[in-house]
Amino acid sequence: MSSKKLKNTKDRKCFRMINGVLVERTVKDVIPALQTNAEGLKKVLDDLVKQYKAKQDELEKWKKKNNVQVVQS
Protein backbone atom coordinates (compact mmCIF):
# COMPACT_ATOMS: atom_id res chain seq x y z
CA MET A 1 0.00 0.00 0.00
CA SER A 2 1.14 3.51 -0.63
CA SER A 3 1.64 6.01 2.16
CA LYS A 4 -1.23 8.11 0.73
CA LYS A 5 -3.68 5.30 1.35
CA LEU A 6 -2.20 4.53 4.76
CA LYS A 7 -2.82 8.08 6.01
CA ASN A 8 -6.56 7.37 6.06
CA THR A 9 -6.15 4.28 8.27
CA LYS A 10 -4.07 5.51 11.21
CA ASP A 11 -5.38 2.99 13.75
CA ARG A 12 -4.75 -0.02 11.53
CA LYS A 13 -2.03 -2.31 12.77
CA CYS A 14 0.98 -3.13 10.64
CA PHE A 15 4.21 -5.05 11.00
CA ARG A 16 7.72 -3.74 10.51
CA MET A 17 11.06 -5.52 10.51
CA ILE A 18 13.52 -3.78 12.84
CA ASN A 19 16.98 -5.35 13.14
CA GLY A 20 15.62 -8.76 12.18
CA VAL A 21 12.72 -8.61 14.63
CA LEU A 22 9.14 -8.36 13.38
CA VAL A 23 7.40 -5.67 15.44
CA GLU A 24 3.69 -4.85 15.53
CA ARG A 25 2.93 -1.13 15.32
CA THR A 26 0.13 1.13 14.20
CA VAL A 27 0.18 2.94 10.89
CA LYS A 28 0.50 6.34 12.59
CA ASP A 29 3.74 5.16 14.25
CA VAL A 30 5.26 3.78 11.06
CA ILE A 31 4.42 6.51 8.51
CA PRO A 32 7.04 9.06 9.75
CA ALA A 33 9.79 6.44 9.58
CA LEU A 34 8.71 5.43 6.07
CA GLN A 35 8.76 9.05 4.92
CA THR A 36 12.23 9.57 6.39
CA ASN A 37 13.50 6.42 4.68
CA ALA A 38 12.00 7.48 1.34
CA GLU A 39 13.60 10.92 1.55
CA GLY A 40 16.96 9.37 2.42
CA LEU A 41 16.75 6.99 -0.53
CA LYS A 42 15.92 9.86 -2.89
CA LYS A 43 18.94 11.80 -1.64
CA VAL A 44 21.25 8.82 -2.07
CA LEU A 45 19.90 8.18 -5.56
CA ASP A 46 20.45 11.81 -6.56
CA ASP A 47 24.02 11.68 -5.24
CA LEU A 48 24.72 8.47 -7.17
CA VAL A 49 23.37 9.98 -10.40
CA LYS A 50 25.63 13.02 -9.94
CA GLN A 51 28.65 10.77 -9.33
CA TYR A 52 27.80 8.67 -12.39
CA LYS A 53 27.55 11.73 -14.63
CA ALA A 54 30.84 13.09 -13.30
CA LYS A 55 32.59 9.78 -14.02
CA GLN A 56 31.01 9.64 -17.46
CA ASP A 57 32.31 13.15 -18.25
CA GLU A 58 35.74 12.20 -16.90
CA LEU A 59 35.81 9.13 -19.16
CA GLU A 60 34.85 11.18 -22.21
CA LYS A 61 37.63 13.69 -21.48
CA TRP A 62 40.13 10.85 -21.04
CA LYS A 63 39.04 9.24 -24.32
CA LYS A 64 39.52 12.55 -26.19
CA LYS A 65 42.87 13.23 -24.55
CA ASN A 66 44.25 9.76 -25.31
CA ASN A 67 42.55 9.43 -28.71
CA VAL A 68 40.65 6.29 -27.70
CA GLN A 69 37.77 5.03 -29.81
CA VAL A 70 35.35 2.37 -28.66
CA VAL A 71 34.73 -0.32 -31.27
CA GLN A 72 31.58 -2.38 -30.95
CA SER A 73 31.09 -5.50 -32.99
Q: What's the pTM?
A: 0.68
Task: Give 8-64 pLDDT, tens digit per residue.
Answer: 777 889 888 889 999 999 988 888 888 999 999 999 999 999 999 999 999 999 999
Listed residue (16, 43, 21, 49) closest to 31, CA to CA: 16
Task: Give 57-66 pLDDT, tens digit per residue.
Answer: 999 999 999 9
pLDDT at 1 over 60: no
Q: What is the dihedral of CA 31, 45, 22, 32, to 10 degrees?
A: -20
Q: What is the CA radius of gyration of the chain?
A: 22
Q: pLDDT at position 2, please?
A: 66
Length of the chain: 73
Residue 18: Cβ within 10 Å count = 9
